[in-house]
Amino acid sequence: MQGKTVIITGATSGIGEVAAVHLAEQGARIVFTARDKARADDTMAKLHKANPAADHAVHMADLSTLAEMKRVGGELAREPRIDVLVNNAGALFNKRQETVDGLEMTFALNHMAYFVITNLLLGKLKAGGRIVTVASNAHRGARLDFDDLQSRRSYVGFPVYSRSKLCNILFNRELARRIAGSGVTANALHPGFVATRFGDNSGGLMRTVLKVAKPIGAISPEEGAQTIIYLASSPQAADVSGVYFYECKPATPTAEARNDEDAKRLWEISAQIADLG
């Protein structure tokens, strides 16, 4: 990864931070997004320790509003070179919240931020570039309701989160189709059930369930970051695109996540919402 630039959203915690540090150790320059100054400084200190020679950079942004996604995407697009983009920042919300754009918060942060930032950086990724999208096996059992993508009719935190992760896999599928032959690859992944800060701020029952389940069943962030690192850096993954990975191996997502019509429809709706011109 010597001389390469890796952009990671949400590298201030969990698997994003571990992946950033490991890729820096391999020689990469890391450019990451953060929304909390103290956590950004903390990550930056770890990156400088991992690779002191590289000019790592941070861009502050709350990725739940379209204006911020576009602003930071525009800033990132001015980087002189981009080799890898890791779409990672995400969360689960127990209660329905609407962003200033009138979007449901989970859909905005977990799906639209991936969509907007990827589209703004696509032209900057040269042949050999890689887009890595952190999805989840939580998509299993989820089904998209195109008449209610903003979950206005009913809202339960985990199913809404699951749908956003289904969106990630459909997004990756349509993205890979659109960029086929360009020399840039796009893959999605499930990191496993990982003991990160994920869910800590979600509130409600889910927070309690995760708090109890993490010490029993979850893997470490170190283990959870491995598939991100693999897809971002391994020569073995260089020519693979449009695939869903788990434990550094191809996995089969659900039939809903393999539906090309839904992938295309979701892309078109997202493009209308994003209004990138």
Residues that bind ligand NAP (CB under 6 A): 10, 12-16, 35-36, 39, 62-64, 88-91, 109, 134, 136, 190-191, 193-194, 196-198
Residue closer to ligand NAP by CB (options 128, 250) is 250
Residue closer to ligand NAP by CB (options 134, 160) is 134
Per-residue exposure over 184-202, b if at least 16 CB sit within 10 Å of its own CB, e if not: bbbbbbbbbbbbbebbeeb
Residue closer to ligand NAP by CB (options 60, 271) is 60
CB atoms within 10 A of CB 238: 12
- Tell me which of 161, 230, 244, 246 is the catalytic residue: 161
Distance of closest approach, residue 226 Cβ to ligand NAP, in angstroms: 13
Residue closer to ligand NAP by CB (options 88, 119) is 88
Contact 107, 167 (CB under 8 A): yes
Phi-psi region of 157 (alpha: psi -120 to 50; beta: other; left: phi over 0): alpha
Cα–Cα separations (whole angstroms), residue 219 to 10, 12, 25, 208, 274: 19, 19, 22, 18, 35
Helix and strand numbers, DSSP H then E, in the chain: 10, 8
Residue of minimal Cβ distance to ligand NAP: 14
Q: Which amino acid is at 98?
A: E
Contact 195, 214 (CB under 8 A): yes
Distance of closest approach, residue 15 Cβ to ligand NAP, in angstroms: 4
CA distance 267 to 99: 20
CA distance 248 to 246: 5
**What is the three-class DSSP state of 245?**
strand
Contact 232, 19 (CB under 8 A): yes
Distance of closest approach, residue 91 Cβ to ligand NAP, in angstroms: 4
CA distance 276 to 66: 10
Residue closer to ligand NAP by CB (options 109, 274) is 109
Residue closer to ligand NAP by CB (options 64, 270) is 64
Answer yes or no: 230 catalytic.
no
CA distance 196 to 137: 16
Cα–Cα separations (whole angstroms), residue 143 to 93, 104, 146, 161, 277: 18, 17, 9, 11, 29
Residues marked as catalytic: 161
